[in-house]
Structure 1
Amino acid sequence: MFKQQKVSIAVRQVLFASTLIATGPVWAQSTAATEAASTEKAETEAFETIVVTGSVPGRTQIESAIAVTSVDAEMIKDFQPSSEAEVFRMIPGIQVAGTAGPGGNSNIAVRGLPVATGGSPFVQIQEDGLPTVLFGDLQFGNNDYWTRFDSSVDRVEGVRGGTAGTFSSQSPGAIINYISNYGEVEGGLLRLNTGVGHDEKKVDFRYGGSASDSVNFHVGGYVKQGKGPLDAAFNVSESAQVKANVTKFLADDVSYFRVLVKVADTQEPNYTGAPALANYDGNSFSDLRPYPGFDGRNQSNYSIHNQEFLIVNREGVTERVEMSGITTEAFSLGNELHYEFKNDIVLDNKMRWTDMSGGFTSPFFNAATTASVLGSTVNGAVVNSIRYANGPQAGELYDSAYLNNNTNVNTNIRDVGSFVNDLAVSKEFAIDDNTFTARAGYFYMNQNVAADWHTNRTYSELSGDNPAMLDLFDDAGNQLTANGIAGFNDNWGAGNARDYDLAYTDTAPYLALDFDTDLFTLDASVRRDTVDASGWTAAGGEVFNTVVDGVAIPTLIPNGARENLNYSVSYTSWTVGGLYKLNEDTSLFTRASKGGRFNGDRQTVSGKINADGSLNQQGLTSAVDFVNQYELGVKRRGEVLDGFYTFELTLLKGDFKQSTYELSATRCGGVAGGCVIDAEYKSQGAEILGTVRIGDFSLVGNATYSDAEKLSAGATNWTRADGIPDLIYTLSSNYHINDQWVTGLNITGQTSAIDGAGNEYPDNYTLGGSLRYSPTDNLEFGFQVYNLTDEFDIRGSGGLADATVTPTVISGNPVIGRTATASVTVTF
């Protein structure tokens, strides 16, 4: 009864949202002339954007039998996302909390198919049609580390389901494609952004246009620096990125050759949580509010007293590392060739070579009672007292009720470079007045994955104001820790003191057939992936002591048993779909698909690999996860109240089975050392998109409704899937007061969600606002506010820290609080 009531409420919310929301371009320009031109284009070309991601080339959105959304740069600017992942909340079907911070490390689910462990196993992030990394859930290397939205990007295109699994590898759930500005329109901009009330500076820039009658170019990027909105006491953001491209059109003016270059050096924080207070009744949290002294809306556990820390590196030598969050260094060089031969034969080839590395160095967070540490055994001795290890109270007894007992983690990602090439040849055949298109292609990608992990057992003060490290002592006064470190590389057990150098090569021939008439289209495509795995992984080993300041600290380095990988796995993905054109403004589509994704580095150190490098039976069973999906949708555009609208509704049903390795104790029933998670998942629901523009008012948004369930290994009853709210939505509106002033309001929200332990977090939403003033052509002053009402919103992930007190103490990742930014933009 309770679940039926929740579903009915969610359905009513979907129906209510469907009368309001929409998706498409946001029309917010600097001059009246530009505004009028943009409005005319929107009215005449709504749904006419040519889809370039995961589909047959040349189709518009309204003609494509797929669920696809295009989010342009102006729309993203107006929405003011607080992180890269929050950009993805603007794409229906994508379900992500967006609270991990600008560095990344988000769990990106799609269409109610949850993330069993971490990362985005069924979602691929691309730049200009090629993957940034082959696997979305690389351990400590999720795919949202390696992309940054900046002024070089023209739009972000999202394709969900169906062809996402046959036009690309490792993406049966969705493809999110960052499409560059290629300089088709002459001009550029310089935008200066500054935090108001917090230290953060960013400069965005771009310029593009024609270098000659047959050559276009574009260059763009950003530089960013500051302490961020969560009031870190040192610079946690130090990032720069430049992307450039040159396009040479050939003699026929439609064929072209393009060169693309990207250089990036980024450092951004990863927010790992904060304590909170809540009422707790029957596994349900309510009235969430900040914990006294640590308000996660504007504070974090980044601290000057933990700005750097010791690790024992892979050679067994102590080394001091900076608390640098998520860092990336990338240089990529690519090209595209589009060549149209006679007789309607077209060749497309995309290539990119990438040299890329990075790191994940973050202060993880978990609220624990101080009493649970006192009296416990740490490093062979009973803890009798806890003292401040540094900071203004160094040496004094620590008597607060709670502390942070989670790890300082440093992951050195030595190499995540790749080489990728995608070649396709298509041919059109005229059959009476109809068109039949055959497209055959071959995809190749080699992905390196080399890293070493350093997870220290660590204790620190529970505070949002530069928390100090804590040292433990036994009853004789002997010190058991060194500057808060109780163990080197041993926080999650011996198996997670890890070093590896792996390579995966994915080759995939694919075939797509498409039949197009004036009334309908039919299409089918198939892809055959073969993934070859090689390299080695080392983990665990004998414990030895490292003496720091006279204290012997237990230490592990990955010199234990070594796995050598030498295996190959092949699998097939397919989809069949069709679209019926009721008229030029309305179309219906349907699709069925089965898409596979290969389990990459999460297969290692999990008992799945034989001594000769082959997969054992358990490994063969879990090597590939398949997603089955069924879709039925309608796309519609038209006039309303002297304005116009677009609308798209897609009904969904899907399921998948996953067996994967998880390293954290949180998802392993509290057991350290990792575990294999086996489960089945199923979901049904709907996606809604559209736009509304009436006079000087525009409204843009989307919503996703999901009824997602999970069947754990050995269980007989399906239960609610964790991390997936019944409804997630975004709305963004603008009103042009006159030729000079534009104001906007946006909202992002969701209904309740549960964590891995089944605790339910309440529904909530956050508001944002903007005001822009253009005193003259090509000059704009902007003021944007994220989370206008300063909501304390934890979007369904966290943990119960202490249920013995009222209110209950929990851990969670709240959204950033009220954050204001001012900007000056010059266009030219």
Structure 2
Amino acid sequence: MRNTGLLFCAASLAAMAPAAASAADDQPDATTTSDGGAATKPPVEVFSTGVAKGRDRLDSATSTSALRGDEIQKFGPRSLADVLRTMAGLRVESGIGEGNNNYTVRGLPLAAGGSKYMQIQEDGLPILEFGDLFNIGTDVYLRNDFSIAAIETIRGGSASTFASNSPGGLINIISRTGDVEGGSIQASSGLDFDQKRVDFTYGAPLGDNTRFQVGGFFRQGEGPRHIGFDGWRGGQVKLNVTRSFAGGYVRLYLKLLDDRSPTYAPYFVNITGTDADPKFGSFPGFRLNRDSVLSPYLGPVVTLDENNRPAALPLSTGQHAVSKSVGLESQFDLGGWTVTERMRYSANSGDFNRAFPSSANSVANFAAAQGGAGASAVYASGPLAGQPISTTTPINGNGLLALYYVSYVRAHALDNFTNDLRATRVWKLSGGDLTTTIGAYFASQKLQTTWLHTAMDVDVNGGKTAMVDIINAAGTPQTQGGYYAFARGTSLFRRGFDVDYRVFAPYGSINYHIGKIAIGGSVRYDSGRVRGSLVGADLGGGRNGLISYDINGDGQISAAETRVAYLPLTQPAPVRYNYGYLSYSAGVNYRVAEPFSLFARYSLGARANADKILFTPVVSTLDGSVASSRDKADKVRQLEGGFKFRKDGITVNATAFRVTADDHNVLNGSANRTDRSYRATGVELEGGFQRGIFSLMLGATYTKAKITADRLDPTLTGNEPRHQPDWTFTATPQVDFGKAAIGASIVTITKSYAQDSNLLVMPGFTTVGAYASFRPIDRVQVSVTAQNLFDTTGIFEVNQSSVPANGIGFARSVNGRTVQAAVRLDF
């Protein structure tokens, strides 16, 4: 009932005044009169991401949102995904961990992980050219800390022409640049979970025309789920130095990220009821939103490495992201043109592992499935190692055993180089302003990774999971030290990638603003060159990937050692193709009155298909070519229109949209390839209300999506895409008394389907974040923040497509409640 009431309240408020925020931390706040009311002159909200030139949002035919860094930090240390979940118009599936979360917008499909249609940028340039690389999403190399000045998002609009591979929109993380002298340092600690963290930032002049900003964080601890070891270890440091001169500036960026965090996969869940009205519950001994299969008693990841040599890799690595980045940004006037140059080189690497489920059953049934009738189980690790497991007394209160695959992806190099050069000039023409922009974009993205796997039999015991051996009735072990196979059970997904992507894209735009009307358009042509090679049994052609191998060197081959995956290194397949596609966007904005404007826009963009078409029949294993141009890039068309209102502390923005999209993909956790077209229609609402000490930001998005064509499985044509709720609501009420402040961040999503078959329903849910802060003395702040305050089990993903007969399923939930306290010193 509480969730139902909240939905009704949020929907009603969103219809009246949905949420907005200022575009950057150096933009003016809404001024107030002596009686606490808003001043008559509204602030100008300048927005610069994905457009030719920063301008007032009411004069731009785009749908945008922004969030200040100080507003982000009020709710305590959170992953970037949890921050973006609170922004209007975005759909984010978090709960996976710090990175590899899922992002989309406007009903664009989430067939696999990452951010396929929205490019995630840092200071105007992409972190990775493709946001949905297998097992390594863009957010793996991004962190939320005090260095952030603002986050800007543009949905649809001109994003498709002012950046490559961003037909759905852009998310831009903007750094502080020393505009305001001073800084902060904060120490925080979990109150009901183990994590210690220090955040800092400081900016100041280095002379008359030079300034700098430095910031970052360091953390260590077990984290929000029970894993039994310090899964969170590391941090980052960012530095920039700006030199200003007449008519421009030049800025140097440096960044070092070295951070580890766990990956939380779908875990054990008890599913009962019907497909239309299922009940999801935690098994005894394993809470879905609190526990993890990770533990000190698992591992290491024993397998053959990228050179087919035995290796034992630490399971505690989790997501270990390493990025060393240097960037240069400059802006200057030349012959009446404003020239902007942005360049960055990032050496990205790391190891990324995760454990994900294959099957689970009672002890007796599980043992029989692997060892035949009369098989038994015995602990292979942990404090009970060597002890038999009862088939009659439920171990851990649930009596379950499971087979888990452990993926260990080694990113040897994901180096990225990007250069974006543009020139803009404003011409006076017939009483109006004609803004012209020309630009050229070049990017190079390396993909050099190896996928390794192993398979473990485990019990179901959150944070204390141990490995299990299965022994048949004749006394012969079917496993080796808890390892069922030194592969993913088969030869599948033992892969090596060594591919380079080169992108060149000239672009231009024109915008004419006269009186109340602004009309403009932009165009971009992306050409790509893809070269490299692949290694793996998945390529077929007689390539074998499963062998017998004496892993432990005892001179004998056990049952598990007959299931060893290796890479056929002498049989690589080439990758060699080029692609090209045109993007364009045109829109009109009518400023009806000072506080109110109307706009409309049509855009065509595309996203080049990267690794999701490799290891598929689309790419020839003989010459590396791709025969069909439609397989090389997926097109997205968007028609949008709406209004914007801003006056007396009230902002209201509304956008109706219709989107069509193509998608070549591979479903998460499977070899199921997809080739589909989609359509989505809906409405985005956002706005805010400010009166005295009280502020409220609100958002609501309605989306109705459909698979219009499934070329590989026509039975799915006409169905709704999985994980697509009809409604998403956000609300952020705050009260600021000066020395003390309180606030909440509320996100609600309605129900959706677990799979594209449209059988099993995932229930909707609401999560609430909250904060309370107090300033006992000047420059000192004490705060308590909470994520998922009511400890909701909110489900983002379910492996099953229907209620299982035995009630044993796998699902991924939002993390349970975490509360932390912090002390901050401003100086």
Q: Does 1:811 align with 2:810?
A: yes
CA distance in 1 between counterparts of 2:36 and 2:255 reads 35
How many residues are matched?
Answer: 794
Structure 1 residue corresponding to 2:84, chosen from 49, 73, 88: 88
Kindly report which structure 2 residues correspond to 1:199-278, keeping only aligned pairs within 5 A, or say none: 199-250=194-245, 252=246, 254-278=247-271
Change (3 A) 1:118 1:786: closer
- Matching residue of 1:284: 277
CA contact (8 A) 2:275 2:761 kept: no
Q: What residue identity is the alignment partner of 2:493?
A: N
- Matching residue of 1:741: 740
- Matching residue of 2:634: 625
Kindly report which structure 2 residues correspond to 1:751-790, keeping only aligned pairs within 5 A, or say none: 751-756=750-755, 757-758=757-758, 759-790=760-791
Q: Does 1:647 align with 2:617?
A: no
- Matching residue of 2:593: 583
Q: Does 1:315 align with 2:330?
A: no
CA distance in 2 between counterparts of 1:510 and 1:34 reads 36
Q: CA deviation at 1:242?
A: 0.7
- Matching residue of 1:64: 60
SS in 1 for 2:673: strand
CA contact (8 A) 1:606 1:675 kept: no
Q: What residue identity is the alignment partner of 1:246?
A: V
CA distance in 2 between counterparts of 1:27 and 1:44 reads 22
SS in 1 for 2:297: helix
Q: Deviations over 1:286-305 (max 9, x none)?
A: 3x332211012221111010
Kindly report which structure 2 residues correspond to 1:600-619, keeping only aligned pairs within 5 A, or say none: 600-611=610-621, 613-617=623-627
Change (3 A) 1:724 1:10: farther
Q: What residue identity is the alignment partner of 2:657?
A: L
Q: CA deviation at 1:811?
A: 1.7
CA contact (8 A) 2:273 2:803 kept: no
CA distance in 1 between counterparts of 2:131 and 2:573 reads 23
SS in 2 for 1:621: helix
CA distance in 2 between counterparts of 1:38 and 1:244 reads 40
Change (3 A) 1:748 1:353: same
Change (3 A) 1:207 1:499: same
Structure 1 residue corresponding to 2:684, chosen from 682, 687, 704: 687
Q: CA deviation at 1:11?
A: 10
Change (3 A) 1:282 1:320: closer
Change (3 A) 1:420 1:397: same
Q: CA deviation at 1:509?
A: 0.5
Q: Does 1:698 align with 2:695?
A: yes
Q: Deviations over 1:307-344 (max 9, x none)?
A: 533221011222121121111111111101101124x3
Q: Deviations over 1:470-492 (max 9, x none)?
A: 2222221111222322222334x
Q: Deviations over 1:497-540 (max 9, x none)?
A: 11111100010011111111121111111110011001111002
CA contact (8 A) 2:30 2:43 kept: no
CA distance in 2 between counterparts of 1:188 and 1:127 reads 21
**Cα RMSD for the two superposed structures:** 2.7
Q: Does 1:505 align with 2:505?
A: no
Q: CA deviation at 1:636?
A: 0.5
- Matching residue of 1:729: 729
Q: Deviations over 1:155-175 (max 9, x none)?
A: 111111121111000110111
Q: Deviations over 1:186-212 (max 9, x none)?
A: 111001111002210111100112222
CA distance in 2 between counterparts of 1:750 and 1:660 reads 25
- Matching residue of 1:563: 573
Q: Deviations over 1:115-139 (max 9, x none)?
A: 1222211011101000000001111
- Matching residue of 1:115: 110
- Matching residue of 2:412: 414
- Matching residue of 1:795: 796
CA contact (8 A) 1:536 1:565 kept: yes
Q: What residue identity is the alignment partner of 2:608?
A: F
CA distance in 2 between counterparts of 1:612 and 1:162 reads 40
SS in 2 for 1:720: coil
- Matching residue of 2:288: 296
CA distance in 1 between counterparts of 2:365 and 2:42 reads 60
- Matching residue of 1:391: 382
CA distance in 2 between counterparts of 1:748 and 1:495 reads 38
Q: What residue identity is the alignment partner of 2:598?
A: L
Deviates more, 1:398-407 or 1:262-271: 398-407
Structure 2 residue corresponding to 1:139, chosen from 126, 129, 134: 134
Q: Does 1:50 align with 2:62?
A: no
- Matching residue of 2:540: none
CA contact (8 A) 2:23 2:47 kept: no
Q: What residue identity is the alignment partner of 1:354?
A: S
CA distance in 1 between counterparts of 2:432 and 2:21 reads 30
Q: CA deviation at 1:282?
A: 3.5
Q: What residue identity is the alignment partner of 2:718?
A: W
CA contact (8 A) 2:417 2:443 kept: yes
CA distance in 2 between counterparts of 1:821 and 1:571 reads 48
Deviates more, 1:389-398 or 1:592-601: 389-398
SS in 2 for 1:817: coil
Identity across aligned pairs (percent)?
27
Deviates more, 1:39-48 or 1:764-773: 39-48
CA contact (8 A) 1:46 1:646 kept: no
- Matching residue of 1:6: none
CA contact (8 A) 2:73 2:146 kept: no
Q: Does 1:345 align with 2:337?
A: yes
Q: CA deviation at 1:747?
A: 1.1
- Matching residue of 1:4: none
Structure 2 residue corresponding to 1:76, chosen from 72, 77, 92: 72
- Matching residue of 1:173: 168
Structure 2 residue corresponding to 1:424, chosen from 408, 422, 430: 422
Q: CA deviation at 1:623?
A: 1.1
CA distance in 2 between counterparts of 1:159 and 1:655 reads 18
CA contact (8 A) 1:753 1:762 kept: yes
Q: CA deviation at 1:37?
A: 11
Q: Deviations over 1:580-599 (max 9, x none)?
A: 10112111111111111100
CA contact (8 A) 1:423 1:443 kept: yes
SS in 1 for 2:132: coil
CA distance in 1 between counterparts of 2:488 and 2:374 reads 19
CA distance in 1 between counterparts of 2:324 and 2:295 reads 31
CA contact (8 A) 1:272 1:363 kept: yes
- Matching residue of 2:437: 439
Q: What residue identity is the alignment partner of 2:752?
A: A
Q: CA deviation at 1:632?
A: 0.7
Q: Deviations over 1:37-77 (max 9, x none)?
A: 99999967866232221002131222221111111112222
Q: Does 1:656 align with 2:661?
A: yes
Structure 2 residue corresponding to 1:195, chosen from 171, 179, 190: 190
CA contact (8 A) 1:79 1:732 kept: no
Q: Deviations over 1:558-608 (max 9, x none)?
A: 116422112101111111111110112111111111111100112211122
CA distance in 1 between counterparts of 2:687 and 2:281 reads 35
CA distance in 1 between counterparts of 2:675 and 2:403 reads 28
TM-score by length of 2: 0.91
CA contact (8 A) 2:266 2:798 kept: no
CA distance in 2 between counterparts of 1:319 and 1:801 reads 39
Q: CA deviation at 1:418?
A: 1.3
Q: What residue identity is the alignment partner of 1:96?
A: V
SS in 2 for 1:407: strand
CA contact (8 A) 2:310 2:551 kept: no
Change (3 A) 1:816 1:614: closer
CA contact (8 A) 1:376 1:383 kept: no
Change (3 A) 1:365 1:340: same
- Matching residue of 2:513: 516
